[in-house]
Structure 1
Amino acid sequence: MPGSPRHHPVQGGWLRRAREFSGFALPGLFLYAVLVLVPIVWTIVLGFTDRTRFDPQANRVGLGQFGRLVQDGQFWLVLKNTSVVTAIVVIVPNVLGLGIALLLNRETVLYRLLRSVFFTPVILSGIVVSVIWQSLLRPDGVLNAILVDFGVESAPRWLSDPGIALFSISGILCWQMLGFCVVVYIAGLNSVPKELHEAALMDGAGRLRRFRSVTWPMIAAAVTINTVMLLISGFKVYEHILVLTNGGPGRNTTVSIAFDVIEKGVRGDRIGFAAAEATIMLAVIVAITAVVLRLLQRREVHL
């Protein structure tokens, strides 16, 4: 009728979907802001102050905390420890995970069971994993008993030898994250179209050539996911160190950045200093992750 308002079904449907989406998304975004964004911003703000536990009156010191942090010899030791752990954790589970995924990429009951076995450590907390391995790596533990049975006269002191302890923690974290890599790589392998393998086989390509030319480019997204997750896991390692060595043996032998931040800011009283260290850790993680994503995503193949 003349003069009556016109209804636009398309516009009305869009508005309805927008309201429905906001109804689902806003609670999650609110929780994300409260639990993640606000603490991050507050930590960065504290990094520019001299806040301590016993003196809550925070004074602005600009970049003073960051300057003291750079001049602190312990910070560079902690950064070195974290870099060693992260490098091992990124490389070892990625390589072993891909190899195991290639072996387990078969649809049988046995292979599905083995996948579950490999994934089990992933669902355990770091505390539980550390307690299990602490009992295995004791001087009189199972692992040393096996080595003695094989003729090793001087069994290693896995957690009390300064030359071994950091690598022991790295190995335990690799063991825990290995199942995650296996599952992600199996998912990536299953996404590779069989037609590509059949075409390469018809062209006379061998197994290694098919892997290099077909499989490897098609699982680039899985490589990206695993690398980023392992990178973050290596940088934020804390509970394994707390349970297994508490930063020792000796002085700061296995202290990571995350462990040092909590020791100084939560268990200690140097809140501003710890916040500055946490801010640097955040910046390093974001920068390295961005570079890794940029490099790896160039290899990804989208069908």
Structure 2
Amino acid sequence: MTITSPPSRTARRPSRRAPLAGIGHFLAFGAPGLLLYLGLVLVPVIMSVRSSLTDENPLHRSTRYTGLANYRELLGDPAFHRALGNTVIVTAIVVVVPNVLGLGVAILLDRRGRLYHALRAVFFTPVVLSSVVVSVIWQALLTDDGMVNSLLRSAGVNHPPGWLSDPSIALYSVASIIAWQMLGFCVVVYLAGLQGVPPELHEAAALDGAGAGGRFRHVTWPMLAPAVTINTVMLLITAFKAYDHIQVITNGGPGDGTTATIAFSVVTTAFTGNRIGYAAAMSTVMLALVAAISVLALRFLQRREVNL
């Protein structure tokens, strides 16, 4: 007959140090990031929404609560509608062109050698440059008497296009410049995805008789799904907040708001027109659009990752 001793009292006591340690770790590591998020993101958003419900103007001493008047004015504002349409065009170009060209360039550079390493650095250089620097360079190149038109004239083109002075193509020129600067980012992300594809999968597909196109379609492309998601979301955000390039290259012209986007209209309305409340309403609408489109794009692309 064996006699078992009763469990010790110390074993029955719940440990109080674990919750305290968890709280201490949160305060040490999580609290600074949370405070930064609250101070730099959440609080400004709340202040902007609050300001959008007023007629705030720095030239007026008193600020009145106007409710949804600013939003109702946005519905009938032709300038805002034009800015929204310009933003959609810029977003379409900036999302599609760097993604397609970036994938092609990444496939060409997915090789070993000093030459390919140097070319990767060349393609990525515009990404780390300031948007203002890139805009100044391209503005000098695309003016009516710039280097691009000079080369076209020397090639026999008597009337080269006004890349920045023609209202029908100025917006596409600015969008192409933004897409050019973001090309290197897409190349790097796709290169990382290509180098993460196991060679064994390509070898197995080749043994099954798949050609180069078949191996890309059934092996490489599904493995690049996370890279497509990253590039698409980043390009969406970049296109919606495009301001620097437009300010430096065209200043919203030529003409009246030909190349003005929502972000550009927010800044000019607030600091040139002194309508802080109306600009806050525009920025709130832009925030809602960016959040909704980003969430939809993430859900669609992540569902695609699972299906593949």
TM interval, shorter chain, is over 0.9
1:119 aligns with 2:124: yes
Could you tell me how far apart the structure 1 residues matched to 2:195 and 2:14 are?
Answer: 44
Give the Cα–Cα distance (whole angstroms) in 2 for the partners of residues 295 and 3 of structure 1.
55
Matched, 1:109 2:111: no
Q: Name the counterpart of 1:229.
A: 234
Q: Retained in 1: the 8 A contact 2:87–2:262? A: yes
1:46 to 42, 47, 51: 51
Q: Establish whether residue 140 from structure 1 lines up as the match of residue 145 from structure 2.
A: yes
Residue in 2 that maps onto 1:292: 297
Distance in 2 between the 1:191 and 1:12 partners?
Answer: 43
Structure 1 range deviating more: 18-27 or 257-266 = 18-27
Pairing partner for 1:58 from 35, 60, 63: 63
**Amino acid across the alignment from 1:94:** N
Q: CA deviation at 1:218?
A: 0.9
Structure 1 counterpart of 2:192? 187
Cα deviation, residue 49, structure 1: 1.2
The structure with more radius of gyration: 2
| Unmatched tracts of structure 2, length 5 or more | 1-6
Q: Which letter does structure 2 place at the counterpart of 1:213?
A: H
Identify which range, 79-88 or 48-57, moves more after superposition: 48-57
How many residue pairs match? The answer is 302
Q: CA deviation at 1:6?
A: 7.6
Residue 108 of structure 1: how far off its partner (Å):
1.7
Q: Matched residues in 1 for 2:304 and 2:8: separation? A: 60
Q: Percent of aligned positions with the same letter in both sequences?
A: 55
What are the ranges of 5 or more consecutive residues in structure 1 without an aligned counterpart?
none
Q: In structure 1, what residue type is equivalent to 2:214?
A: R
Aligned to 2:266: 261
1:178 paired residue number: 183
Deviation at 1:261, TM superposition (A): 0.3
CA deviation vs aligned residue, 1:43-62 (integer Å, no higher than 9, x gap): 11111111112125332222
Q: Secondary structure at the match of 1:224?
A: helix
Distance 2:166 2:235 in 1: 26
Kindly report the root-mean-square deviation, in angstroms, between the aligned alpha carbons of the 2 structures: 2.1
Conserved 8 A contact 2:144-2:165? no
Q: Which runs of 4+ in 1 moved over 6 A?
A: 1-9
Deviations along 1:146-200, whole A, 9 cap, x unmatched?
1112111112211111011101101100110000000001111111122211111
Alpha carbons 1:196, 1:214 under 8 Å: kept? yes
- Tell me, in whole angstroms, the C-alpha distance in 2 between the residues paired with 1:220 and 1:182: 14
1:138 deviates by 1.8
Preserved contact between residue 217 and residue 301 of structure 1 (Cα < 8 Å): no
